[in-house]
Amino acid sequence: MSEILRKAEYLLSETEPERLAPARAEVAFVGRSNVGKSSFLNAICQRRGLANVSKTPGRTRAINVFAIDPLRWLVDLPGYGYAVGPAESRAGWSAMIEGYLTSRPSLRGIFLLIDCKVGPTKLDHDMRAWLQAAGLPFFLVGNKVDQVKSSQRLNQQKRIAEGLEVPVTQIRWVSATEGTGIAPLRQEIVKLLS
Ligand code: GDP
Protein backbone atom coordinates (compact mmCIF):
# COMPACT_ATOMS: atom_id res chain seq x y z
CA MET A 1 0.00 0.00 0.00
CA SER A 2 2.78 2.42 0.89
CA GLU A 3 4.27 1.71 -2.54
CA ILE A 4 2.42 4.71 -3.95
CA LEU A 5 4.70 7.01 -1.95
CA ARG A 6 7.57 5.91 -4.17
CA LYS A 7 5.87 7.73 -6.99
CA ALA A 8 6.46 11.08 -5.30
CA GLU A 9 8.02 13.65 -7.59
CA TYR A 10 8.92 17.27 -7.05
CA LEU A 11 6.07 19.37 -8.42
CA LEU A 12 6.66 23.04 -7.63
CA SER A 13 7.85 25.67 -5.17
CA GLU A 14 5.73 28.59 -4.07
CA THR A 15 6.17 31.48 -1.66
CA GLU A 16 2.62 32.78 -1.97
CA PRO A 17 0.32 30.07 -0.65
CA GLU A 18 -2.80 31.68 -2.13
CA ARG A 19 -1.38 30.89 -5.57
CA LEU A 20 -1.34 27.15 -4.94
CA ALA A 21 -3.86 25.17 -6.96
CA PRO A 22 -6.44 23.11 -5.07
CA ALA A 23 -5.51 19.51 -4.27
CA ARG A 24 -7.60 16.54 -3.26
CA ALA A 25 -5.49 15.53 -0.26
CA GLU A 26 -2.21 16.71 1.18
CA VAL A 27 0.02 16.30 4.20
CA ALA A 28 2.64 18.79 5.33
CA PHE A 29 5.94 18.59 7.19
CA VAL A 30 7.23 21.31 9.45
CA GLY A 31 10.11 21.73 11.91
CA ARG A 32 13.27 23.63 12.67
CA SER A 33 16.06 23.75 10.13
CA ASN A 34 18.31 20.70 10.42
CA VAL A 35 15.71 18.60 12.24
CA GLY A 36 15.93 16.11 9.37
CA LYS A 37 12.83 17.06 7.39
CA SER A 38 14.44 16.32 4.01
CA SER A 39 15.84 13.02 5.26
CA PHE A 40 12.41 12.17 6.68
CA LEU A 41 10.62 12.93 3.41
CA ASN A 42 13.17 10.86 1.50
CA ALA A 43 12.73 7.97 3.97
CA ILE A 44 8.94 8.14 3.79
CA CYS A 45 9.01 8.02 0.00
CA GLN A 46 11.98 5.64 -0.16
CA ARG A 47 13.53 8.05 -2.59
CA ARG A 48 17.04 9.13 -1.78
CA GLY A 49 17.60 12.70 -2.90
CA LEU A 50 13.93 13.49 -3.50
CA ALA A 51 13.77 16.37 -1.03
CA ASN A 52 17.21 17.75 -1.86
CA VAL A 53 15.37 20.12 -4.12
CA SER A 54 14.27 21.90 -0.94
CA LYS A 55 17.92 22.86 -0.37
CA THR A 56 18.23 24.57 -3.72
CA PRO A 57 18.96 28.26 -3.19
CA GLY A 58 15.71 30.16 -3.44
CA ARG A 59 13.70 27.14 -2.41
CA THR A 60 14.84 26.85 1.20
CA ARG A 61 12.38 29.58 2.11
CA ALA A 62 9.59 28.32 -0.11
CA ILE A 63 6.77 25.84 0.21
CA ASN A 64 8.00 22.83 -1.76
CA VAL A 65 5.36 20.51 -3.14
CA PHE A 66 5.96 16.84 -3.97
CA ALA A 67 3.16 14.91 -5.64
CA ILE A 68 2.31 11.23 -5.89
CA ASP A 69 -0.25 12.25 -8.50
CA PRO A 70 -1.38 15.74 -9.51
CA LEU A 71 -3.94 16.01 -6.71
CA ARG A 72 -2.18 14.24 -3.82
CA TRP A 73 0.66 16.14 -2.25
CA LEU A 74 3.42 15.94 0.31
CA VAL A 75 4.31 19.48 1.27
CA ASP A 76 7.66 20.47 2.73
CA LEU A 77 7.37 23.74 4.64
CA PRO A 78 10.50 25.87 5.13
CA GLY A 79 12.46 25.10 8.29
CA TYR A 80 12.43 27.61 11.10
CA GLY A 81 14.94 28.38 13.80
CA TYR A 82 17.86 30.08 12.22
CA ALA A 83 17.73 33.64 13.43
CA VAL A 84 18.50 34.88 9.96
CA GLY A 85 17.38 38.01 8.27
CA PRO A 86 15.68 41.06 9.60
CA ALA A 87 12.48 40.86 11.62
CA GLU A 88 10.34 41.57 8.58
CA SER A 89 11.66 38.53 6.69
CA ARG A 90 10.90 36.35 9.72
CA ALA A 91 7.44 37.87 9.84
CA GLY A 92 7.12 37.04 6.13
CA TRP A 93 8.07 33.46 6.92
CA SER A 94 5.30 33.19 9.53
CA ALA A 95 2.81 34.78 7.18
CA MET A 96 3.72 32.28 4.46
CA ILE A 97 3.47 29.23 6.76
CA GLU A 98 0.31 30.43 8.47
CA GLY A 99 -1.18 31.43 5.13
CA TYR A 100 -0.54 27.94 3.82
CA LEU A 101 -1.78 26.12 6.93
CA THR A 102 -5.01 28.07 7.10
CA SER A 103 -5.92 28.03 3.43
CA ARG A 104 -5.88 24.36 2.49
CA PRO A 105 -9.17 22.51 2.87
CA SER A 106 -7.44 19.37 1.56
CA LEU A 107 -4.82 19.42 4.33
CA ARG A 108 -5.26 16.11 6.16
CA GLY A 109 -2.33 16.17 8.54
CA ILE A 110 0.69 18.19 9.60
CA PHE A 111 3.75 16.36 10.87
CA LEU A 112 5.73 18.48 13.32
CA LEU A 113 9.26 17.13 13.60
CA ILE A 114 11.20 17.51 16.83
CA ASP A 115 14.89 16.70 17.28
CA CYS A 116 15.17 13.98 19.95
CA LYS A 117 18.66 14.96 20.94
CA VAL A 118 18.01 18.70 21.17
CA GLY A 119 14.49 18.37 22.56
CA PRO A 120 11.66 20.78 21.80
CA THR A 121 12.84 24.34 21.23
CA LYS A 122 10.89 27.50 21.95
CA LEU A 123 9.86 27.67 18.30
CA ASP A 124 8.71 24.02 18.37
CA HIS A 125 6.49 24.91 21.35
CA ASP A 126 5.19 27.96 19.56
CA MET A 127 4.40 25.93 16.45
CA ARG A 128 2.66 23.20 18.44
CA ALA A 129 0.60 25.76 20.37
CA TRP A 130 -0.32 27.53 17.16
CA LEU A 131 -1.42 24.30 15.42
CA GLN A 132 -3.46 23.36 18.45
CA ALA A 133 -5.12 26.76 18.72
CA ALA A 134 -5.92 26.67 14.99
CA GLY A 135 -7.60 23.29 15.47
CA LEU A 136 -5.48 21.69 12.76
CA PRO A 137 -4.81 17.93 12.68
CA PHE A 138 -1.16 17.55 13.64
CA PHE A 139 1.12 14.69 14.63
CA LEU A 140 4.33 14.93 16.63
CA VAL A 141 7.38 13.12 15.30
CA GLY A 142 10.56 12.76 17.36
CA ASN A 143 13.35 12.33 14.81
CA LYS A 144 17.01 11.33 15.29
CA VAL A 145 16.05 8.87 18.01
CA ASP A 146 19.27 6.99 17.13
CA GLN A 147 21.30 9.94 18.43
CA VAL A 148 20.17 9.34 21.99
CA LYS A 149 22.04 6.50 23.76
CA SER A 150 19.69 3.57 24.29
CA SER A 151 20.33 3.75 28.06
CA GLN A 152 19.01 7.33 28.08
CA ARG A 153 16.35 6.98 25.43
CA LEU A 154 13.33 6.35 27.62
CA ASN A 155 14.16 9.23 29.96
CA GLN A 156 14.74 11.57 27.06
CA GLN A 157 11.47 10.51 25.44
CA LYS A 158 9.63 11.16 28.72
CA ARG A 159 11.28 14.55 29.05
CA ILE A 160 10.31 15.55 25.51
CA ALA A 161 6.75 14.30 25.95
CA GLU A 162 6.40 16.18 29.25
CA GLY A 163 7.73 19.32 27.61
CA LEU A 164 5.12 18.98 24.90
CA GLU A 165 2.43 18.02 27.41
CA VAL A 166 1.48 14.77 25.68
CA PRO A 167 1.87 11.09 26.57
CA VAL A 168 5.09 9.45 25.31
CA THR A 169 3.00 7.18 23.08
CA GLN A 170 1.52 10.14 21.25
CA ILE A 171 4.87 10.98 19.69
CA ARG A 172 6.04 8.92 16.71
CA TRP A 173 9.69 8.13 17.47
CA VAL A 174 11.75 7.74 14.33
CA SER A 175 15.17 7.79 12.80
CA ALA A 176 15.00 9.11 9.27
CA THR A 177 18.51 7.95 8.51
CA GLU A 178 18.24 4.48 10.04
CA GLY A 179 14.63 3.89 9.11
CA THR A 180 13.39 3.19 12.65
CA GLY A 181 9.66 3.82 13.01
CA ILE A 182 9.25 4.92 9.40
CA ALA A 183 7.10 2.04 8.08
CA PRO A 184 4.06 2.72 10.31
CA LEU A 185 4.25 6.41 9.42
CA ARG A 186 4.21 5.56 5.72
CA GLN A 187 0.97 3.71 6.28
CA GLU A 188 -0.54 6.61 8.23
CA ILE A 189 0.42 9.04 5.48
CA VAL A 190 -0.97 6.82 2.73
CA LYS A 191 -4.23 6.58 4.66
CA LEU A 192 -4.40 10.35 5.07
CA LEU A 193 -3.83 10.80 1.34
CA SER A 194 -6.32 8.17 0.22
P1 GDP B 1 16.42 19.54 7.23
O2 GDP B 1 17.21 20.81 7.27
O3 GDP B 1 15.37 19.53 8.29
O4 GDP B 1 15.86 19.19 5.88
O5 GDP B 1 17.42 18.38 7.66
P6 GDP B 1 18.24 17.30 6.79
O7 GDP B 1 17.35 16.18 6.36
O8 GDP B 1 19.05 17.96 5.78
O9 GDP B 1 19.16 16.71 7.95
C10 GDP B 1 20.06 17.52 8.66
C11 GDP B 1 21.20 16.64 9.17
O12 GDP B 1 20.71 15.70 10.12
C13 GDP B 1 21.85 15.79 8.06
O14 GDP B 1 23.23 15.71 8.33
C15 GDP B 1 21.17 14.45 8.20
O16 GDP B 1 21.97 13.38 7.73
C17 GDP B 1 20.96 14.38 9.70
N18 GDP B 1 19.81 13.53 10.07
C19 GDP B 1 18.55 13.62 9.63
N20 GDP B 1 17.76 12.70 10.20
C21 GDP B 1 18.55 11.99 11.04
C22 GDP B 1 18.34 10.89 11.92
O23 GDP B 1 17.24 10.35 12.08
N24 GDP B 1 19.42 10.46 12.64
C25 GDP B 1 20.65 11.03 12.51
N26 GDP B 1 21.65 10.52 13.25
N27 GDP B 1 20.88 12.06 11.70
C28 GDP B 1 19.86 12.54 10.97
> How many angstroms separate the alpha carbon of residue 193 from the centre of ligand 1?
25
2-110+122-129+176-193 in CATH: which number? Answer: 3.40.50.300
3-state SS, residue 158: helix
Do 111 and 36 touch, CB atoms closer than 8 A?
Answer: no
Q: How far is the C-alpha of 44 from the C-alpha of 51, rounded, in Å?
A: 11
CB of 35 closer than 6 angstroms to any ligand 1 atom: yes
Q: For residues 162 and 144, what is the distance between their CA atoms, to the nearest angstrom?
A: 18
Residues forming a β-bridge with 111:
29, 139
Residues of the chain with pLDDT under 50: none
Of 177, 180, 182, the one to substitute when testing ligand 1's pocket (max ligand atoms within 8 A of C-beta) is: 177
The structural domains of the chain, with segments of one domain joined by +, span 2-110+122-129+176-193
| Gap between the Cα atoms of 94 and 69, Å rounded | 28
Q: How many Å apart are CA 109 and CA 168, to the nearest integer? A: 20
